[in-house]
Amino acid sequence: MMKYIDGGVCAAKGFLASGIHCGIRKNRDKRDLSLIYSEKQCSAAAVYTQNLVKGAPIEVTRDNISDGYARAVICNSGNANTCNANGREVAEDTCRILADKLGISPKDVVVASTGVIGLPLDITPIAEGIPALISELSENGCDNAAEGIMTTDTKKKEVAVEFEAGGAVCRIGGIAKGSGMIHPNMATMLVFITTDAAVSPDMLKKALSGDIRKTFNMLSIDGDTSTNDMVAVLANGMAGNPMIAEEDEDYRRFAEALNAVTVALCRMIAADGEGATKLLECRVTGAGTESAAKQVAKSVICSSLLKAAMFGADANWGRVLCAIGYSGAAVDVDTIGVSFRSRAGEIEVCRNGAGVGFSEELAKTILLEDEIEILVDLGAGGYSAVAWGCDLTYDYVKINGDYRT
């Protein structure tokens, strides 16, 4: 049985974390450097942004974990270490300095950065901060680590679950940062997940690659694919379960637990999107193919017009139909149904591609809640998908329109 537990990335046995202010940011009250460390070597897997403009840390991490193993994650906020001249050098130096102090190989370090792009990143505060970062490592360090990777996030994002594999109790947990920066720039998502389950590098990679297609790839705050996105998972095997090395029942349980963590983080990221007042969840059913389901769900969640309507609690279902129509999926308009649902109730607004009479008052009551489900039934088959997003608000414009100072 799976259950939610406390601890985030420190919930899994043998993982320690810390977060400090090292001086990349001017605001001394904001932590800007985080570390996650495992007492034992870990299987490691990661997925990265598809943006051709990539942060230097992405390339370094990709090289480092190409052998399928890692031991530590270091991440700074305040500077994305992207589109500058010394990016690769600074990322490599960070790994080397950290590895020296930890007594591990630099090739076992996952390095990440988030913040403004196009500025040189000075290694000095990082190098000077690493001893303190290591000395503060603790089983209770997840909160500080989660804070150290935040930019304009308004809430720390951490989650963990406990599950069983091969007769052993295992744990998996993660932290995430969502969209925005103190110098507003581009939404860069970072997710670090730890587990004490024993999972082979291959199976870890398979589980992660399969999972993100239904989770992080179905998340959008503003349609801008970042240069620095990264989701990394470390599995240290300290739960004592037999190594998961094939797609057996234990693998299925692990994948399910991973999904519980990633879906929870997706929801947290969407709900805390820049300027957001509402979490939007588009649930598509009745699709003829899985890809049609996904295309439709993602198209709806990305529509600026629908996002603005949701901010205004306006049951403007024509915008849902419009977004379905341009999604690229082959749909039959005449079989589409749309409903809105929240804690306040559920209301059908469109059936067979045309409007149905509905109470605008009830619709508004439903849409005034802060978690809204947009239910789309394509009436064509048995496939379904979910996508997450948020409303488009004045504050999104404010956060991203303010002059960098």
Q: Which residues bind a second copy (CB under 8 A)?
A: 50-54, 80, 82-85, 116-119, 184-187, 222-227, 302-305, 308-309, 311-314, 316-319, 321-326, 330-331, 333, 350, 353-355, 360, 364, 392-394, 396-404
Tell me the CA distances in angstroms from 364 to 234, 300, 345, 355, 372, one per residue in order.
44, 19, 11, 16, 11
Q: How far is residue 223's CA from residue 225's CA, in Å, rounded to a whole number?
A: 6
Query: Are the C-beta atoms of residues 133 and 141 closer than 8 Å to each other?
Result: no
Q: How far is residue 303's CA from residue 273's CA, in Å, rounded to a whole number?
A: 15
Q: How far is residue 353's CA from residue 376's CA, in Å, rounded to a whole number?
A: 11
CB of 329 to a second copy, least distance (A): 8
CB of 216 to a second copy, least distance (A): 15
Alpha helices in 178-248 (DSSP H): 201-214
In the complex with a second copy, the residue whose CB is nearer, 4 or 394, is 394
Query: Are the C-beta atoms of residues 192 and 9 closer than 8 Å to each other?
Result: yes
CB of 326 to a second copy, least distance (A): 4
DSSP letters, 103-118, are: TS-GGGEEEEEES-SS
Query: Are the C-beta atoms of residues 175 and 158 closer than 8 Å to each other?
Result: yes
CB of 88 to a second copy, least distance (A): 12
CB of 221 to a second copy, least distance (A): 9
> Any residues with CB less than 8 A from the CB of 392 and at least 6 apart, and which?
222, 275, 304, 307, 308, 310, 311
CB of 245 to a second copy, least distance (A): 35
In the complex with a second copy, the residue whose CB is nearer, 230 or 392, is 392
Q: Residue 138 carries which DSSP code?
A: B
Nearest partner of 270 among 278, 262, 260, judged by Cα: 278
Bridge partners, residue 374, by sequence: 282, 340
DSSP letters, 54-100, are: --HHHHHHHHHGGGSEEEEEEEEESB---SSSSHHHHHHHHHHHHHH
How many residues does this entry show for the chain? Answer: 405
- Which of the residues are catalytic? 188
Query: Are the C-beta atoms of residues 158 and 142 closer than 8 Å to each other?
Result: yes
CB of 340 to a second copy, least distance (A): 14
Nearest partner of 256 among 2, 9, 75, judged by Cα: 2
- 109, amino acid identity: V
Nearest partner of 76 among 174, 148, 154, judged by Cα: 148
In the complex with a second copy, the residue whose CB is nearer, 251 or 311, is 311
Nearest partner of 100 among 62, 139, 74, judged by Cα: 74
CB of 65 to a second copy, least distance (A): 22
In the complex with a second copy, the residue whose CB is nearer, 293 or 324, is 324
In the complex with a second copy, the residue whose CB is nearer, 285 or 295, is 295
In the complex with a second copy, the residue whose CB is nearer, 111 or 392, is 392
In the complex with a second copy, the residue whose CB is nearer, 80 or 95, is 80
In the complex with a second copy, the residue whose CB is nearer, 96 or 351, is 351
